[in-house]
Structure 1
Amino acid sequence: MTPPTTPPPTAATLGELRATGYAPRTVKAEIRDNLLARLASGEDPWPGLHGLQDTVLPQLERALIAGHDVVLLGERGQGKTRLLRTLVGLLDEWQPVIAGSELGEDPLEPVTPASRRLAAELGDALPVAWRHRSERYAEKLATPDTSVADLIGDVDPMKVAEGRLLGDPETIHFGLVPRSHRGIVAINELPDLAERIQVAMLNVMEERDVQVRGYVVRLDLDVLVVASANPEDYTNRGRIITPLKDRFGAEIRTHYPTELDDEVAVIRQEADLVADVPAHLLEILARFTRALRGSSSVDQRSGVSARFAIAGAETIAAAALHRATRRGEDEAVARVVDLETAVDVLGGKVEFESGEEGRERAVLDHLLRTATAEAVRRHLRGLDLAPLVDALEAGASITTGEQVTATELLDGLPPLPPSGAGESDLYDAIAERLGATTPGQRASAIELALEGLFLARKVGKEQDTGRTTYGVE
């Protein structure tokens, strides 16, 4: 969560808080006011979210303005959890609470019997503390073993042993939802909750009270409940029971980025890269991921997560660093040859149709070649590569591979006939098209051109024990 950017207010008692003109607001009203203020000022309420600006986000904004609880429905890796966590930014940075209150109660509106007694006894001397918005978001990954006690609460035997009566509300140990009073509670993978646990949520969602072991505790809970679910969960693992679905004011379908640039932006933002991964390789991974999502060989009900491309970028960066470390390179830059290392480890992230058993690697290889060819056409269209083809047809060859350094690759390039400004014009033109300035980036750019020539069947390629040679077959 975002750390505090401003110090908390100085009011330390209820009297001092009253003097500031503070007035209580529900959490939904607070989010509505802050959202409308950001929209009016032109500030982006959803930093870090790409490809949802014209579809999902307007729907979510309308739901929040209406004060609705929300469930996000979509395949894995569509940014549902990130979107839920971004809601924290719409809360006030600091919120006053009764100091020591178990549920973070408003000093002007205590809800538990203990806090009401304390407020009555101390009056304006009631101690006030300040809670940062990062503390007002609670997230629970729903699992089949989640209990009512986890979400709602249960009778605390220690408090009973202290002499309190079993029916005393103060014997209750509150669960996640009551502890999120005046904040946001998010439940990920909601259909994974057992149906009897979902039933326990009904009163919280509608009447906003808590029922524990037959006792009704009126707490006037103030929470925004948000949840996420995958569509296939309704049939494969579980379902959201109809009464609970009815209590969510909005069900919003999410989706993968529709534009290539948004897909690349997600990879660039989320991947933790240990080496330089040129933009054209990130683009190939994005195109590869999108091709998988459109393939009839892949189970589209499961989807192909954005994490697939993110993990791919991290893998090829690791391959580049591995090569640089072993071979003593000054810089670690990923190249086309490193894409094979990503395919080696990413296959398990894709669910294939049952009829494709045994063909999984062939499907991945084919779609990766397609993605690479598309990137070549985009970046090198109109560039005359004939001199390079002629050099290879004349008997030259170029060797690359997982452990071939950029210097070795560049030193092994055949000289090209001069075109008026020097022999290296074509290589410079390729580097310029791809924004390559360092030796490692130049090697990556030229390797893309070579792979493009191979995919266009202009040159041959032989692979053997970690080495790839481009030349005439």
Structure 2
Amino acid sequence: MSIRDDVLALQQRMGESIVGQQRMIERLLLGLLADGHLLVEGLPGLAKTRAIKMLAKNLDARLSRIQFTPDLLPADITGSEVYFSEAGKGEFRFQPGPVFANLILADEVSRSPAKVQAALLEAMEERQVTVGGATHKLDPLFLVMATQNPIEQEGTYPLPEAQMDRFLMHVNVGYPEADAEGEIVRLARSEEVVDGAAGTAAHPQKLAQDIIFAARAGIHAVHVSDAVARYVVALVHATREPKQVDDDLDKWIQIGVSPRGSIGLDKVARAHAWLRGRDFVTPEDVQAVVHEVFRHRLILSYEAHAAGITADAVIDRLVQQVAVA
């Protein structure tokens, strides 16, 4: 099997356990392949937690779940120095926190104060933690999937726009279709039987981390033509100078996409092309992922909010108005 076949097999195994959320599964894999982090937003019960658990179950990787609460401290995430005494001698040693894993589920990330969020976001950006003047590197395979509940605002601490920019993609998760809902019920029923017969279920062979690193090397080699590169830049600059593109966009967009958006769109589009079996990026690859890359980076105007215009509607208009180079 090729490296791409191994990754597609991983995607298929995850899809067998997560019904009706194929787009979320693909976006999670794209984040892993593009070496970026995901902010996943959706109502409770839509398999957000299950998705990353299934990824950890089928990948040779350690998973840490951090339940964000108002009383959480930065040291609860990064770890801290602990005093150890042995044979009459004492010393401080660093005790790693849950962030020292390969896959991190930051559940309900908006429920903790800003300094706790900042501790996680610093680890995401720097891929390291500094405690007591000493720097501790995180593992090369490191993915954070932070979740948010879109309907509860009381008692939450929304992430600032500048910090949300550190997420590679913002993925919205919706309800499954009716047919998928019935399959979900049947799957849950079958899992009850498996859980009742302890030890009878076969454990799948886990995908080695080397496969992911090799896939990233292949994605790095995916060709981006000058025309597609100009199209990526044109989309980004249209959010900064919307008046030159469309009057409605000018009314709706207050602040456009940062340079991280350009870099992110290029990376995710290359990963999308590689996952489709191509060694070059097409404009369709860019359009397929632009919503997840731009969604959290656009700051809409008061007029847009008052009119009920969403970021996705703005991006739809952007794709319509910006010509492919």
Determine if contact 1:137/1:185 at 8 Å carries over to the other structure.
yes
The CA deviation string for residues 150-206 of structure 1, in whole angstroms up to 9 with x for no partner, is: 110112123698344x6xxxx22221112x1xx212111111122111111232111
1:144 is aligned to 70
What is the DSSP-based 3-state SS (H/G/I as helix, E as strand, rest coil) of the residue aligned with 1:240? coil
How many angstroms does 1:42 deviate by?
8.7
Q: Which amino acid aligns with 1:176?
A: P
2:36 to 68, 73, 77: 68
The change in CA–CA distance for 1:139 and 1:35 in structure 2 (over 3 A counts) is farther
Question: Within 2, Cα distance between the matches of 1:247 and 1:191?
Answer: 15
Q: Which amino acid aligns with 2:83?
A: P
1:219 is aligned to 137
Question: Within 1, Cα distance between the matches of 2:79 and 2:52?
Answer: 24
Q: Which amino acid aligns with 1:239?
A: P
Determine if contact 1:34/1:90 at 8 Å carries over to the other structure.
no
Q: Which amino acid aligns with 1:185?
A: I
What is the DSSP-based 3-state SS (H/G/I as helix, E as strand, rest coil) of the residue aligned with 2:95? strand
What is the DSSP-based 3-state SS (H/G/I as helix, E as strand, rest coil) of the residue aligned with 1:158? strand
Q: Which amino acid aligns with 2:54?
A: T
1:209 is aligned to 128
Question: Within 2, Cα distance between the matches of 1:52 and 1:273?
Answer: 18
How many angstroms does 1:40 deviate by?
6.9
1:81 and 2:49 aligned: yes
CA RMSD of aligned residues (A): 3.1
Question: Within 2, Cα distance between the matches of 1:71 and 1:262?
Answer: 24
2:176 is aligned to 257
How many angstroms does 1:61 deviate by?
3.1
Determine if contact 2:11/2:29 at 8 Å carries over to the other structure.
no
The change in CA–CA distance for 1:78 and 1:220 in structure 2 (over 3 A counts) is closer
Question: Within 2, Cα distance between the matches of 1:219 and 1:273?
Answer: 38
Q: Which amino acid aligns with 2:56?
A: V
Question: Within 1, Cα distance between the matches of 2:169 and 2:11?
Answer: 25
The CA deviation string for residues 316-369 of structure 1, in whole angstroms up to 9 with x for no partner, is: xxxxxxxxxxxxxxxxxxxxxxxxxxxxxxxxxxxxxxxxxxxxxxxxxxxxxx
The change in CA–CA distance for 1:50 and 1:239 in structure 2 (over 3 A counts) is same
**1:111-122 superposed matches below 5 A:** none
1:49 to 9, 13, 18: 18
Q: Which amino acid aligns with 2:65?
A: E
Question: Within 2, Cα distance between the matches of 1:249 and 1:273?
Answer: 33
2:84 is aligned to 158
The alignment covers a number of residue pairs equal to: 190
The CA deviation string for residues 278-321 of structure 1, in whole angstroms up to 9 with x for no partner, is: xxxxxxxxxxxxxxxxxxxxxxxxxxxxxxxxxxxxxxxxxxxx
Unaligned runs of 5+ in 1: 1-32, 93-132, 275-473
**1:235-254 superposed matches below 5 A:** 237-254=156-173
Determine if contact 1:39/1:45 at 8 Å carries over to the other structure.
no
Determine if contact 2:74/2:119 at 8 Å carries over to the other structure.
yes
2:6 is aligned to 37
1:414 is aligned to none
The change in CA–CA distance for 1:62 and 1:173 in structure 2 (over 3 A counts) is closer
The change in CA–CA distance for 1:173 and 1:218 in structure 2 (over 3 A counts) is closer
The CA deviation string for residues 63-101 of structure 1, in whole angstroms up to 9 with x for no partner, is: 222121112111111111111211114423xxxxxxxxx
Question: Within 2, Cα distance between the matches of 1:151 and 1:35?
Answer: 34
> Of the two, which has the highest radius of gyration?
1
Question: Within 2, Cα distance between the matches of 1:41 and 1:226?
Answer: 18
2:99 is aligned to 177
Q: Which amino acid aligns with 1:263?
A: E
Determine if contact 1:188/1:228 at 8 Å carries over to the other structure.
yes
Q: Which amino acid aligns with 1:202?
A: L
Determine if contact 2:38/2:146 at 8 Å carries over to the other structure.
yes
Question: Within 2, Cα distance between the matches of 1:48 and 1:40?
Answer: 13
Larger CA deviation: 198-207 vs 228-237: 228-237
Question: Within 1, Cα distance between the matches of 2:113 and 2:85?
Answer: 28
More relative contact order, 1 or 2 (CA 8 Å, 6+ apart): 2
Question: Within 1, Cα distance between the matches of 2:115 and 2:10?
Answer: 45
What is the DSSP-based 3-state SS (H/G/I as helix, E as strand, rest coil) of the residue aligned with 1:227? strand
Q: Which amino acid aligns with 1:81?
A: T
The change in CA–CA distance for 1:205 and 1:196 in structure 2 (over 3 A counts) is same
**1:307-456 superposed matches below 5 A:** none
Q: Which amino acid aligns with 2:43?
A: E
